[in-house]
Amino acid sequence: MRMLLIHADTFSYEVTEKTPIAEEIGEEARKGSSKDCLVVFSAVERGDEKNVEDVVSQAVDEVRRVAEQVGTKNIVVYPYAHLSSNLSDPETAIKVLRGVSESLSKYYSVLRAPFGYYKSFNILCKGHPLSELSREVRPREEAKAVKGAKRFLVVTPSGEEVSPEDYLATAARDEFAVLVEREALGKSGEGIPGEPEFISIVKKFQMNWEEFSDRGHMRFGPAGDLLFSLVADYSSQIVRELGIPVYFVRGTNMFDLSRKPVREHAELFGDRLYQLEVERRMYVMRYAACHQQFSMLKDWTISYRNLPFGVFEVADSYRLEQSGELLLCFRTRKLHMPDLHVICRDEKEAWEWFHKINERIFREMESLGRNYELLVNLTSEEFYRKNKDEVLKLAKTREKNLLLCFYPPGVNYYWYINVEYHILDDLGRPREIGTVQIDFGNSRRFGIKYIDANGEEKYPYIIHTAIIGTIERYLYTLFDTAVKMRKEGKAPMLPVWLSPVQVRLIPVSERHIEYSEKLADELRDFRVDVDDRSETVSRRVRQAEEEWIPYVVVIGDREVEGGKLKVRIRAERAERELTFEELRERLKADVAGKPFRPLPYPLRVSQRPIFAV
């Protein structure tokens, strides 16, 4: 907080115009005057919100000290934003200025000019050596209360409880054991030196960091954009299949920190916040779809008959991750969260949907041939004991051990339970992908209500989930899976429905191009291109393999004359003779039930630029 203190013979002000951030005032506050007064021109700054009481206390001490020196009993507290270019949010400013005025009024006659108004004022400064002084106060660091450490416990499907140390003493070193070592004991593992192998794959599909932006922001070329869009489409498809109404919404990505629900939710999230200042107001960039969806839901009239339902958005989200921990597709500062909130009548219904979503999260990862291990975060051991049967269902569903993490008392999160779904990646490290939470706090915080069967207002429970994780982390899983495929002696590849080019036709010579294009047209429900370049056939086939194209067909005289097609099938690492209809049927089976988008390039390879990453 910055203050300019002027000892004046007279001071008067009058309101001329109201601004959008103005506090509400009565008619008596629209003008005011004082004589033989100490005028305290004040600017509350960013950071003062960290300890408002301390800022108020220090400011009052400074003003009292000067008032005693100049011998006045009259104080004017006047908001004056021009003293700083680093202003706080309006709510904090009003809180500080009121606090200063109320504390000073115990000792002096105090006039406070209203905040958020254009005002004219007249001042007659006395002109003695102490009549013009400046002061600056900063919130002092609070001694943070020691709340205790997190406590971990391994729970088996039968309900047996074991300490992490005892579990690891006898357990096989499997994926769950690695999760326990990493999370409960803090062992990071040796890792693998050099650049992770999946990075080269990410770049192969035209994804990289954007060098003209802040660190941690990605760019997507045509192939990368196609992958991103298809995964986003798939995330939307999944929520439509859950069996409840799901309402798709869209909104902004920046929210006003002077709004109490926004600020409180941001404080719970922690210190990885992107913030920006616009026209002297502080905003937080959203870190999920919560703010936008909850802001909408508070305005909806909801009956118990409407519940449960979902609200969904693929939300661009922002998290100020540490630069040393950034990793392409996995830990980014801009990410895209396919964020679903399921609104439930009560705790019983919330648990029911919690388990349904848990099942879908597992199904999605198993469809990629991967395994999840679970870290179950709980706000207290008391909650666990009360709901142990529900928690154990997570273990019994697939006969999996659980790693429970009990947060220390006093840590006020908005959820009761927060499950993190971890894969073990190629580097041998647990990586969180999916998540599901039961939220008890935000319906009250944001004022989201429904009318029950008795006509009474109730606060719903809210399920938070990203079933496939962020779009980027789902892509990370696909690329990491491809690395594992290679190490197992398989051809690394993406699922056919996600392959930017699903079929490549390679005409042997120029006279075979027309027929190749005819075949491509007959396969227009798939992404098919024609490599018409003048390179040798073997070179073009090799490049198609480097691009991980699932089906490659060389078109020569025999094929033009109606013979079977010789098809190189990447998944089988083999060449097979197929009729045109057999190829079409294989493609249909490969992409069944998945979203489709057209080829992101011109049909002919020769017409494309070379895409740098």
Question: What's the CATH code of the domain at 317?
Answer: 3.30.930.10
Last residue of a domain, one of 84, 106, 136: 136
Order of strands, sheet of 551-555, starting from the edge strand that comes earlier in the sequence: 528-530, 503-507, 551-555, 565-569, 574-578
User: Which band of pLDDT confidence, cut at 50, 70 and 90, is reported for residue 267?
Assistant: confident
The reply to whether 208 and 308 lie within a common domain is yes
Q: Quick one: pLDDT at residue 189?
A: 55
The reply to whether 22 and 88 lie within a common domain is yes
Task: Print the domain residue range for 586.
Answer: 496-607
User: Which band of pLDDT confidence, cut at 50, 70 and 90, is reported for residue 143?
Assistant: very low
Residue from 345, 270, 347, 344 nearest 310 by CA: 344
Mean pLDDT of the chain: 93
Q: pLDDT digit string (tens) for 501-550?
A: 999 999 999 999 999 999 999 999 999 999 999 999 999 999 999 999 99
The reply to whether 65 and 169 lie within a common domain is no
User: Token digits for 413?
Assistant: 């999160």
Give the residue-averaged pLDDT of 283-289: 92
Q: What is the CATH number of the domain that holds 560?
A: 3.40.50.800
In a domain? residue 77: yes
The reply to whether 511 and 470 lie within a common domain is no
In a domain? residue 501: yes
CA distances, 323 to each of 131, 328, 541 (Å): 49, 12, 40
In a domain? residue 486: no
The reply to whether 123 and 207 lie within a common domain is no
Last residue of a domain, one of 85, 103, 136: 136
The reply to whether 476 and 524 lie within a common domain is no
* Residue 498 · residue 231 · CB < 8 Å: yes
In a domain? residue 142: no
DSSP string, 80-100: -GGG-SSB--HHHHHHHHHHH
Residues 6+ apart with CB under 8 A from 132: 4, 5, 6, 7, 125
In a domain? residue 490: no
Q: pLDDT digit string (tens) for 28-78?
A: 999 999 999 999 999 999 888 888 988 999 999 999 989 988 999 999 999
Residues 6+ apart with CB under 8 A from 473: 329, 330, 335, 431, 432, 433
Give the residue-averaged pLDDT of 245-267: 91
HSE, side-chain direction, 13 A CA sphere, residue 61: 9
The reply to whether 291 and 428 lie within a common domain is yes
The reply to whether 131 and 172 lie within a common domain is no
**Among the ranges given (195-199, 233-237, 401-405, 465-469), the one the predictor scored with the smallest mean pLDDT:** 195-199
In a domain? residue 266: yes
pLDDT at 339 over 50: yes
Q: Which residue has the higher pLDDT, 270 or 34?
A: 34
If one counts the domains in the chain, the total is 3
The reply to whether 393 and 284 lie within a common domain is yes
The reply to whether 473 and 337 lie within a common domain is yes
In a domain? residue 144: no
In a domain? residue 85: yes
The reply to whether 306 and 388 lie within a common domain is yes
Give the residue-averaged pLDDT of 78-101: 93
Q: By three-state DSSP, how is residue 122 classified? A: strand
Q: Which residue has the higher pLDDT, 224 or 380?
A: 224
Q: pLDDT digit string (tens) for 308-336?
A: 999 999 999 999 988 888 999 999 999 99
Alpha carbon distance 175, 612 (integer Å): 37
Give the residue-averaged pLDDT of 164-178: 93
pLDDT at 141 over 60: no
Angle in degrees, CA 63, 64, 70, rounded to 5: 90
User: Which band of pLDDT confidence, cut at 50, 70 and 90, is reported for residue 144?
Assistant: very low
Percent with pLDDT over 90 in the chain: 82
Strands 503-507 and 551-555: parallel
Q: pLDDT digit string (tens) for 181-192?
A: 999 998 865 455
Q: Quick one: pLDDT at residue 414?
A: 79
The reply to whether 311 and 372 lie within a common domain is yes
Q: Residue 611 CB: number of other CB atoms within 10 A?
A: 11
Q: Quick one: pLDDT at residue 408?
A: 82
Last residue of a domain, one of 75, 106, 136: 136
Give the residue-averaged pLDDT of 116-120: 95
